[in-house]
A = this chain, B = another copy of it.
């Protein structure tokens, strides 16, 4: 770190000690790429002016590998927290950014990650306003872990809550499922599918904002289906109230490459992690209008099921051939270190 542009070398423990080298790392990389009026104050905390009700969310990102088709841990860390805020019906505004870097991590990779963070923050329309950097000894981490926490302002028309769900409501999904999980798998050693499955990591806040503007409280429940896949969110709905879900298997949007890869590995796409996928529960009366809105972003958006009182606590999936089976909750994890 001799000059502002030097990005060779590795990050060692000295960069995390609170002394001059840490300041150089912050100046040359973090502040250099992420500068904005609030971050530039460089106090231990950021000063924010916000009005109205707020949403607050946190997530640590431990994905392995760090770089994969369609993204890296940097944009994942921005989009993931942006999406958690969006799922609250909030407009994401500010992020904190905390790195835990393993000694020996290549400076160039760190720079690449910070650049991705800048781009993802710009796409999502959020600012990184405060941060922290720690360096741990070799063998006490896995390259880099990132935590982002986010603050958003609740949309005035938002009224999202699992308690708002009613019998007969339509269960919609905005995009094809299982893509992120299979993109990560395809990067991992020994699992080349010979196809190009690209992670669906993306900010969902713009889509959610459109939903809020058009439908307000008509959007009864939103949740992104990350770790644990679609099944885990559906089970959350089914265990929160006195409802079950009737799922129509053939309506689940899954890209053909992803479906093939899942079959090869014996994985059910409903349990595979996603990044840019969310569930949306709405009254059946506005179902088509909401779907139409979702399809502007992704034609794969689909009506996948219905809230029912017939089998409370259970998700029953009907196949195209007339068979019905219970979708069990995920026990343990199917794919570790996926986000």
Contact = CB atoms under 8 A, between A and B. Distances in A.
Interface of A: 13-14, 16-22, 41, 43-50, 53-60, 62, 84-85, 87-88, 90, 94, 96-100, 129-132, 134-137, 139-142, 145, 147, 149-152, 154, 160-162, 223-224, 226-229, 232, 273, 329-334, 336-337
Contact of A58 (B55, B145, B149): B149
A313 to B, nearest CB: 13
B14 A45 contact: no
Nearest to A44: B84
Contacts of A87: 43-45
Contact of A45 (B43, B84, B132): B84
A17 B227 contact: yes
A64 B232 CA distance: 35
A76 to B, nearest CB: 13
A137 B291 CA distance: 40
A229 B60 CA distance: 28
Contacts of A337: 136-137
A330 B22 CA distance: 10
Contacts of A154: 47
Contacts of A50: 50, 54
A36 to B, nearest CB: 13
Most B CB within 10 A of own CB, among A17, A22, A54: A17
